[in-house]
Amino acid sequence: MGGAHFTYVGRFAPSPTGALHAGSLVAALASWLDARAWNDGRGGRWLVRIEDLDSQRCVAGATERILRQLQDCHLQPDQPPVYQSQRTHLYQRALTQLVDAAMAYPCACSRKDIEAAIARQAGQRERHGELVYPGTCSAGLRGRPARAWRFRSAPAQGGAADPTRAGVTWRDRRLGLQQQDVADAVGDFVIRRSDAVFAYQLAVVVDDDAQQVSHVVRGEDLADNTPRQLLLQQALGMASPRYLHSPLVRAASGEKLSKQHGAVPVDTADPMAALNAAADVLGLGPQSGHVAQALHGWVQAWRHLYNPVV
Ligand code: GLU
């Protein structure tokens, strides 16, 4: 960036667990359009970040396929992509900062331990298939070996003891006012996993800050993570970007289209067909002609829908 400060930096941050499917192309197009619609005379910057920290889930060749699919659709990043697997020193530094501030603590609990503790408390529970951590290790490991590292969500929100606490509120540019009590909904969440992999929540926050991302545009399935990320930004002294969560593509079953649900790679050999389908999900009308021309038309339409200029 040559030291120049851009008022808009956006990004698309795919995990290379497979090629782009119809749903991930919607998120890519939405974030690209939002950057290109930025109207300050200089334009926005659009970056691609490959979220390849979880090597178990990464699929060989997926990154190259994703970059090729983006290129086929003329969604070109303004800088070469960055790879999270090459940036672990940044996540480690953030973890150290949180530990020094007593905002993170080591946790010795296995999933079984957490289940047992939850059963003893005769209640709490699970959310989106994830256990709400009952706080077992928040006061110390009591001689057990550390496995993961967790973030203290209650103090970050203003204290668990305060019954009037509203949790985290934020305004999504598409979904409107959102609210979540993170301590209640998620508990103290993992920022470094027991297999030593830094968790998505921490990595995404560190990278969005390091890359000076001003506007996050991503799929609505990730909206639920935003309050955790806002708390981490606050604890690390970082500015928070603005958020827009784009519509999801539903499978015939009504479920969100995902690689887990067998979504097929989007065929970008016909980029206009792929882009028209994605634009339709975003509520933008159809375009014909050349890809570049069509994208230009969608940028205009996007400005009317989401007016990114603030
Ligand atoms: N890597 C995440 C995913 O593919 C997206 C992260 C983000 O946009 O914040 O689901």
Let me know: does 45 contact 10? Beta carbons within 8 Å: yes
Q: What average pLDDT does range 154-166 have in this prediction?
A: 71
Residue 142, pLDDT score: 93
Compute the distance between CA of residue 265 and CA of residue 161 in angstroms, rounded to an integer.
48
Quote the ligand 1 centre to 41 CA distance (angstroms).
Answer: 29
Residue 226 alpha carbon to ligand 1 centre in Å: 11
Q: What pLDDT was estimated at residue 75?
A: 98
Q: Is 198 exposed, middle or buried (0-12, 13-18, 19+ CB in 10 A)?
A: buried
The model's pTM is: 0.94
* pLDDT tens per residue, range 5-35: 789 999 999 999 999 999 999 999 999 999 9
> What length does the chain have?
310
What single string gives the DSSP state of each residue in the chain?
Answer: -TTPPPS-EEEE---SSSS-BHHHHHHHHHHHHHHHT--SSS--EEEEEE----TTT--TTHHHHHHHHHHHTT---SS--EEGGG-HHHHHHHHHHHHHTTSEEEE---HHHHHHHHHHTT---EETTEEPP--GGGG--TTPPP-EEEE-HHHHHT-TT-TT---EEEEETTTEEEEE-HHHHT-SEEEE-TTSPBPHHHHHHHHHHHTT--EEEEEGGGGGGHHHHHHHHHHTTPPPPEEEEEPPPBPTTSSBP-GGGTPPBP-TTSHHHHHHHHHHHTTPPP--S-HHHHHHHHHHHHHHHH----
Predicted local distance difference test score (pLDDT) of residue 101: 97
Burial class (CB within 10 angstroms; exposed 0-12, middle 13-18, buried 19+) of 128: exposed
* Ligand 1 mean position, distance from CA 15 (Å): 6
- pLDDT tens for each residue of 220-236: 999 999 999 999 999 99
Does position 2 have pLDDT exceeding 60, yes or no? no
How far away, in angstroms, is 159 Cα from ligand 1 center? Answer: 29
CA of 13 to the centre of ligand 1 (A): 5
Ligand 1 center to residue 142 CA distance, Å? Answer: 36
Average pLDDT over residues 45-67: 97
80-106 pLDDT, tens digit each: 999 999 999 999 999 999 999 999 999
pLDDT at residue 24, as a whole number: 96
Ligand 1 atom at minimal distance to the Cα of residue 218: 8
pLDDT, position 1: 43
Residue 157 has pLDDT above 90, yes or no: no
At 120, is the pLDDT very low, low, confident or very high (cuts 50, 70, 90)?
confident
pLDDT, averaged across the chain? 92
Q: Which atom of ligand 1 is nearest to the CA of 17?
A: 4
* Residue range 168-175: mean pLDDT, rounded: 96
- From the alpha carbon of 208, which atom of ligand 1 is closest? 9
CA 27–ligand 1 middle distance (angstroms): 9
Could you tell me which residues come within 8 angstroms of residue 308 by beta carbon, excluding any fewer than 6 positions away? 8, 34, 37, 38, 39, 44, 173, 215, 302
Which of 307, 289, 292, 299 minimizes the C-alpha distance to 74?
292
Is the pLDDT at 171 greater than 70? The verdict is: yes
Q: What is the pLDDT of residues 283-300, one digit of tens each?
A: 999 999 999 999 999 999
Name which residue leads in pLDDT, 277 or 124: 277
CA of 8 to the centre of ligand 1 (A): 19
Closest-lying ligand 1 atom to the alpha carbon of residue 14: 4
What local confidence, expressed as pLDDT, does residue 248 receive?
93
Quick one: pLDDT band at residue 135, thresholds 50, 70, 90? very high
Using the CB atoms, write b or e for 137-152: b if 16+ within 10 Å: bbeeeeeeeebbbbbb
CA angle 101, 106, 111 (to 5 degrees): 140
| For the CA of 11, the nearest atom of ligand 1 | 8
Residue 129 has pLDDT above 60, yes or no: yes
Indicate which residue's Cα is closest to atom 6 of ligand 1: 13
Ligand 1, pocket-test mutation among 15, 17, 63, 258, most atoms within 8 A of CB:
15
Residue ranges around ligand 1 (CB below 6 Å)? 13-15, 51, 204, 218, 222
Note whether 136 and 113 are within 8 A (CB).
Answer: yes
Q: 29 C-alpha vs ligand 1 centroid, how far in Å?
A: 14
40 confidence band (pLDDT: 50, 70, 90)? confident
pLDDT of residue 170: 96
Degrees (nearest 5) of the Cα angle 292, 295, 300?
130
Looking from the CA of residue 229, the nearest atom of ligand 1 is 9
pLDDT band of residue 159 (cuts 50, 70, 90) is low
Cross-strand pairs, 130: 127
Atom in ligand 1 nearest the alpha carbon of residue 204: 9
CA of 113 to the centre of ligand 1 (A): 29
The atom of ligand 1 lying closest to the CA of 12 is 8
Rounded Cα–Cα distance for residues 188 and 208 (Å): 22
- Give pLDDT, residue 219: 97
**Which residues make beta-bridge pairs with 107?**
148
- Residue among 53, 200, 258 to mutate when testing ligand 1 (max atoms within 8 A of CB): 200
Please give the structure tokens belonging to residue 139. 């006061």
